[in-house]
Amino acid sequence: MTDLGKRILIALGGNAIKQAHEKGTYEEQLRNVEKTAAQLAKLVQRGYHLAITHGNGPQVGALLIQQEEGQRLGIPPQPMDVCGAMTQGQIGYMLQQALMNEFRKIGLDKLAATVVTRVLVRKDDPDFQDPSKPVGPFYDEETAKKLAEERGWVIKKVKPNADKPYRRVVPSPDPIRPLEADAIKKLYDSGIIVIASGGGGIPVIEEDGKIKGVEAVIDKDLAGERMAEVLGVDIFMILTDVEKVKLNYGKPDEREIDRMTVSEAKKYYEEGHFLPGSMGPKVKACIRFVEEAGGKAAIITHLEKALDALEGKTGTWIVPD
């Protein structure tokens, strides 16, 4: 296989931090993060230089619920952008600590550092009018309707053929660029493993000459691609809970894809094969990385298959035409 280079940005899916069947206790999340760190350390051992971003959907969803419930006790709620910052710090701390402990355990002289990251979006982004980003837990239909009525949430079906297919959705504007780009690049270029733009970054707009936070959650894969552009990495890798991307997902003729050119990926995307709240943003981010940023390849695979995928043994590869 052609050497694709060693600079990689890894976008961690929710399963790296919280499994779907779990409640989301600190102990559960820490256990998952430690397993994730062990997988990532294998890549570092092989000479790959990593930058890392991660999702925060379950965490920010739970935190938003805590904010609402806290009002009953007279505790002022924090806005969504602040909750995003809080979960960036929480997950960044857990990943950073787990990675450093793993490096110590296997004798690697490496540093990891977290950067709380703001990401610029447009204030007229259409998603503010039609929210699309799932956050928080999954619900059955009855519970979803009740919560929509009681709390004024927008709730959509995001996981067909599941017992609990509904989730709350919030605005998810398209990311323009991370505002901490220079700091992230300096750290990364100095050899530090940078954890940044967590949860898609804190969404901010520019208004009247000032930067201000907005009530939204940016998709972490699309924001991760913007970070990959800034860092000039060779490979953009999305680690999730499936080994390969599928066509006709959930249908009798469902099939896995090993490799797609950008043109093929765009064709499948336009045909609606990839769900908007799930695989859609992942494939879109990969297309952008290869086509617009000039990346050598993008890979989507399961967290536990990262090394195999980099060696060309599995995963779905998106490559130039």
User: What gap in Å lies between CA 103 and CA 201, rounded to an integer?
Assistant: 26
Task: Kindly write down the DSSP assignment for every residue of 133-144, as one continuous string.
Answer: EEEEEEE-HHHH
Active-site entry in 185, 282, 284, 305: 282
User: What gap in Å lies between CA 62 and CA 40, rounded to an integer?
Assistant: 26
15 given a catalytic annotation: yes
Structure tokens at 106: 């296997």
Calculate the CA 82 to chain-centre distance.
Answer: 18
14 given a catalytic annotation: yes
Active-site entry in 14, 92, 201, 224: 14
282 given a catalytic annotation: yes
Active-site entry in 18, 110, 133, 185: 133
Active-site entry in 18, 110, 185, 220: 220
212 given a catalytic annotation: no
Orientation of helix 279-291 relative to helix 220-231, angle to 10°: 20
220 given a catalytic annotation: yes
Phi, psi of 233, deg, nearest 5: -75, 165
Residues sharing a CB contact under 8 Å with residue 67, sequence separation 6 or more, in sequence order: 77, 78, 83
Question: Which residues are part of the catalytic machinery?
Answer: 14-15, 133, 220, 282
